[in-house]
Homo-oligomer: A and B are copies of this chain.
Amino acid sequence: MRFKQVYDYVWSQIERGERKAGEKLPSIRQVAAELGVNRLTVFKAYQHLKDDGKVDVKEKSGYFVASVNQPRLDSAFPDPISAPSAVSWKNKLSDIQRIPAVYQFSQAIIDPNLLPNLFLSDYVKQVFDIYPKLMGTYASAQGDEELREHLSRHMVRKHKFQLTASELLITSGAQQAIDLIARTFIRPMDAILVERPTYSAALDVFRAYGARFFAVDITPEGYDLEHVEQVMKQHRPRFFYMNPTFHNPTGYTVPPSQRKQLVELAERYRCLLIEDDAFNDMYYDQPPPPPLFSYDTEGWVVYIRSFCKYVAPGLRICAVMGRKPVIAPLVSAKSLADNGTPLVNQKIFLHYFESDRMQQHLKKLRIALQIRRDIMEEELRRAPGWEWLSLKGGLYLWIKLPDGFPVVAYFEESLRQNVSFIPGTICDPFDAIEDRIRLCFSLVNESQMREGVRRLVDIANRMQLESNLTNR
């Protein structure tokens, strides 16, 4: 049973007046038992009811029928569930990340204390001395030419890219790059190839533009290339959105041997590869293999390189690289989306990025993050039957839970105890991965890390115990 049916079931009770405004709804556990469905399915239905304003959530006490006195406006815009043609811009990842929690393992953000803040502030002041009219000047839609020149030279030097400044577009973060690519290349019902699991907010964007998903599993060994070829051959996807380096959420890296082959497949089947590379510099062992874009000769790879995560998150600077026929329509889309990323942000970023300080910062940051990762792993060893691969880059651990682990109840209890994480299901294009969670170790400091992970482990141990008792 899909969550939509549960949604309709609960909503019809409310609509028929069987459940009144303000009334407490049965718990997720009760509904799951009543309908004989997975609790995660009920959880999703309740979340949608909440998002649609039909149900309220009160912390620690459950779900309630929302007040019937909705503004008249509500009914003017058909509900996304009842009207499938309406555009539903739902961002499940950010919905979870917005839930306040002291021990934040859901947000892939680097602790601001690990960034060279004072140095950055000094830089900003210098930049305003260099460009006194910076605040009064608009940027072009494609981005500041000086920054594009600099970044293209940097990429040529570092990754041996074939690249000029005209093949580079500056966006406000990777999220905007993904959105611009989706709106430019997806038409409703187009096939799109994605990894399974993948970045949840990319799925939400593709879904909103009407994509049909085909997926290929990502494993520590990369993809099943035969499967990739079969999908490309049979379904002709418009593009393959991939995150082959320190992959989100798994941390896996696609091996060099597959990279060249993937570019060849892309050329053969005329399927763009959208290579999202946000963690390239965040390695703990050795630098990752060359990006797929460095193998591209025919223009079938688009390379998204965000600098938001670890350079200067507050500036939100990202670069999209690709050949002219791809970049040109993206520049037009960008000009309609926001007329160009603010020049202030681009100039500050440029001057910081080219400083020596930047490289020193990266070295220190890698060490600091590695220490946090080690602490997380150390504390997690007490968790009952949890498994994960120790990670060579990126900001997360992707944990396999024991079979049948009650992940929804676990998630709810963790939130109640002020700990948040990402349930694996939202990273799945088919909403079915229920035995995984993603824990991000970059935001909280070392002592919070120990306390937060201890809470997680304690809750898990207790639930495991209860579940064993019940099953006996």
Contact of A136 among B89, B112, B137 (CB under 8 A): B112
Distance between Cα atoms of A90 and B333 in the complex (Å): 7
Stretch at the interface among A123-131, A149-157, A283-291: A123-131
What's the minimum C-beta distance from A101 to chain B, rounded to whole angstroms?
15
- Mark each residue of chain A from 379 to 421: 1 if its CB lies under 8 Å from any CB of chain B, else 0: 0000000000000000000000000000000000000000000
Cβ-based interface call for A71 (8 A): yes
What's the minimum C-beta distance from A469 to chain B, rounded to whole angstroms?
41
Distance between Cα atoms of A335 and B72 in the complex (Å): 26
Distance between Cα atoms of A328 and B87 in the complex (Å): 13
Stretch at the interface among A55-63, A340-348, A453-461: A340-348
What's the minimum C-beta distance from A270 to chain B, rounded to whole angstroms?
5
Q: A342 to B316, Cβ gap below 8 A?
A: yes
* Majority DSSP secondary structure for residues of A touching B: helix
Q: B109 to A135, Cβ gap below 8 A?
A: no
Cβ-based interface call for A323 (8 A): yes
Q: B94 to A339, Cβ gap below 8 A?
A: yes
Q: Of residues A329, A336, A348, which shows the largest number of chain B Cβ atoms within 10 Å of its Cβ?
A: A336
Q: CB within 8 Å of B: which of A156-214?
A: 171-173, 175-176, 179, 183-187, 201, 204-205, 208
Q: Considering the complex, give the chain B residue whose CB is closest to the CB of A334.
A: B89
* Known interface pairs A121-B135, A137-B313; A183-B87 also in contact (CB < 8 Å): yes
* Known interface pairs A132-B121, A138-B313, A140-B98; A326-B89 also in contact (CB < 8 Å): no
* Known interface pairs A71-B298, A121-B132, A299-B71; A172-B89 also in contact (CB < 8 Å): no
Q: B117 to A335, Cβ gap below 8 A?
A: no
What's the minimum C-beta distance from A163 to chain B, rounded to whole angstroms?
15
Chain B residues with CB under 8 A of A136:
110, 112-115, 117, 120, 312-314
Q: Considering the complex, give the chain B residue whose CB is closest to the CB of A340.
A: B316
Interface size on A, residues (CB 8 A): 83
Cβ-based interface call for A76 (8 A): yes
Chain B residues with CB under 8 A of A272:
76
Q: Of residues A134, A315, A333, A337, which shows the largest number of chain B Cβ atoms within 10 Å of its Cβ?
A: A337
Q: CB within 8 Å of B: which of A258-277?
A: 270, 272
What is the oligomeric copy number?
Answer: 2
Contact of A325 among B74, B90, B313 (CB under 8 A): B74
Distance between Cα atoms of A228 and B336 in the complex (Å): 27
Q: CB within 8 Å of B: which of A335-381?
A: 335-339, 341-345, 348
Q: Considering the complex, give the chain B residue whose CB is closest to the CB of A139.
A: B314
Contact of A187 among B71, B86, B89 (CB under 8 A): B86
- Mark each residue of chain A from 306 to 327: 1 if its CB lies under 8 Å from any CB of chain B, else 0: 0000001111100000011110
Q: B184 to A89, Cβ gap below 8 A?
A: yes
Distance between Cα atoms of A470 and B137 in the complex (Å): 45
Contact of A326 among B70, B73, B332 (CB under 8 A): B73
Q: A325 to B270, Cβ gap below 8 A?
A: no
Q: B342 to A72, Cβ gap below 8 A?
A: no
Taking beta carbons and an 8 Å cutoff, which residues of A are in contact with B? Answer: 53, 70-74, 76-77, 85-87, 89-91, 94, 98, 109-110, 112-115, 117-118, 120-121, 124-125, 128-129, 132-138, 140-141, 171-173, 175-176, 179, 183-187, 201, 204-205, 208, 270, 272, 298-300, 312-316, 323-326, 328-329, 332-333, 335-339, 341-345, 348
**7 pairs of residues in contact across A and B, judged by CB atoms under 8 Å:** A89-B333, A112-B133, A113-B133, A117-B135, A120-B135, A124-B125, A201-B339
